[in-house]
Structure 1
């Protein structure tokens, strides 16, 4: 026993000695190769890569090269090493470090005037952001790479590969946005380039991504064929990560085809390889798919264990898509096991998480637009001020005499009056724009859109195809009318009534078609010639529905009367048989969250502003209606709009 221990210690000592003794030797080789490269200082990726290709997988070698090239002020070489360090950090899920390295590599590529390395790093930076679900930032980086690459007259092999990577990555972003046909189009472009340069890794990646798009489209046999092609290429180039990804995807297809036994074998095989790698993103996906198939095979204990493991990895690295999928599958697992409270809890987490992701993406997108708009607006103002200032200077220098000075004074007075007039007009236009923006945001109420789509989704789930298509067409027409009218200052009364009918039809889905909406137009009234502010009546209808009728039992009626009973005026009355304003106010006061009638207040402001340009003023009156027993029987809103 003692002899055996001594032998083991001796072998371990020899191994350590050999390992440490090789380090100075490798550094010496790297130094010699780096010195030979420093004599010619190439800026093309392939020229540098031919020298250091075999040392890319070792991060310590890459760090040594980056420091050595920085010390010798060889920016292109430093960019090359930093890029591969960034890829290494991305593959072990160190995403923030990868972002820092690629950004620094871009700076060095620009400093060293290496467009190829700049393109490459923009693409790699986009890939990292895509892993983090930062799709807008990812897309910006890939388009930057694409823009640079397309401006090169005779692209090298490296630039062609970068073009393929850009198309592939843009396709992946379309994939995330569920634009599957557009994604396939981008992957096909990338495949064409990769085939022309015989890049097996690129072919493996693009065939897999094409398979993913076809899987989402339900074309399972085509998807399986593409995944198998990708696996074949990955095996040829001995890519363990590619093998993991493909086997996991093929296993997922088998699950959807109810071939659970084969699916489990393949995913288990994928897991054994994934554990040896440091790629947390794909390891989490394998655990989650394994938990899914084990749920189908009724191996519930193992399924829960693997799903929880996948969820833990995803939460640690903030893989939002994987977290969402894990919540969904855990909810399904607990449901089949009869653990309904746990199933409900995970289902709520799944819904809340998805809503949070959507809100964050929407908020980020809107903030980006606002910042971009503000920046453009400020730049325009600065340019205009600079131009005006230059004009004043030129006039002042050109005029010396008293008569000319008098002319300048007169001109300045005229300019001042014009500026004051323009300021007044600009304020007025700004007020119109503000009201239009507020009107659009009130019409595009996210709760209304979300609830409407949910109602339509319910028809789809219940296989009520005709109702789903009928209301989806109405909903799309409604949104189109909102967007088209948002830029108009006035619309015909006929168009407004058409919009109201569509709006009530959509709201009626949630009221099980209990809303009775009727429009009565006086015989002599031509609603096509009467102009009113667009979408101005909808808040009054919405108010009648949600404050007057939603809490009412029994028949729910809204009647819209249009008549010309006074000269130069049109009278529009909205009458409901709801609970009345007093009762509605009591209900509102009892709520924890108070709903503000922003839409009605906005409509009042718009009516007042609209009538400012006419000879008469708009008027608005609210009447409480009572039955014979003096009980509340609804509300009447009377709107008097001037015609001239």
Structure 2
């Protein structure tokens, strides 16, 4: 009897072992039908990303038909599609899931591939530390399995990371490691890319001869492969390198060579024209610079490359100002601003479209999940419950969406009002007139400095107004730039001082942008403007127990005296906008706001003081 039981136990163990073996074998194999679908998706991943995601999600919804390896590979491909189409957060979350499955499967090769994408996504999202952790893990696995391609990709990720950190010495060590791995290989195009990256690091280190040597190696390889498009790019990069080195004749030679080669292969490329524009602008040959920038602009416009078009228009704007053609300058500024708004609108639409696709996919997943529950329970009761839940979910989603939309519209309106107050036409034209006077006096260096300062001020206003918070040092830099521009307008009839408590680390503290500037403007326009000399503007920033205090004071005419001469409304002082911005922070900071008229012992107005506090996180 005991022997019989022992025999049954051994038989049971053998059957269990065989089942486990076959299960593992099935798990480690991708069925031909799944493999075929994944290959098809890979071919359309860049041209049809939305369709690729829908197909992959459809496979995941039928996960009961997938083994662990197949599920991991479907998730991997989905993560790659998301990453290639700049959906970095979604790509990161998806790769976390497949990476966990590859670890369970002990699939070191695919685990390392997933780690490289996790590192790349983290880097794009600004998480440097996490990016480095994943890249080093991928490198360790690559060395373990002795896969040089994985090693190269890990080194390349570490190169990008340190290049972004401006740690160029470390970046150079990693790109050299990649170069040694690929130098004996047959992948010529990868080697060309590596040589170009190495040259870029040398360029940042201002080692121009080494940069040119690397570019020359890349050029020789591209000539051997008879790849004219790559050769054009290298010629253009060499031209830019010579510009950086200050060897302008050579720069012009290579840039014109790139243009000639483009014409020979009937290719349209704006980069060489843009390079020539930069070259002639540095040589103060404004007419030649303008001609080449216009050629580059025409190509960027036809290609709908809005970001490059904005950059070129900025250059043309500067040239127009230097030439005194303010009508043309304003036209460039208007078009540039319209393009920037277009970029913002496209980005919002892209995010909304992606959110809609995700919502539809998640809704389908929810319906399938509920359908399974209905089959195992009371069908009609569960159907009613699910329908009620979906209706409540949709109603809640629409309520949240409408609430957010109203808040966004309010913020957008406030942003536009703020921008109109910050950069009013009177200030712009008066400043341009002041710069024109300096130009007419023949002081080219002083004129150029103020053009640069004024351009920077306009750029700061447009860049910062769309941000919720910036560092205090950027806010102070913008205020200083603004005051110095105003000093130019009023012929330095007043001085200014900015006092910041020593214990404040201005680079780490975040504040709402352009919060102080309206009161600085009020102090100048309605206080110091009519003082011929001796005007003083003061800004004090002090540390409080849980925040900062700001004091803006002037020794000008005073509000009460100015009010007798002209009507000064609350809107002119931007007080309403200022208080609305504080209220939107929901910290009660608006209650600390005080405007005080200053008087001497004989009750004569001697200026104005503004005080408020900001609470820090």
Q: What TM-score bracket applies, with the shorter chain setting the length?
A: 0.3 to 0.5
Scaled by the length of structure 1, the TM-score of the pair is: 0.44
Scaled by the length of structure 2, the TM-score of the pair is: 0.45
Q: Which has the larger radius of gyration?
A: 1
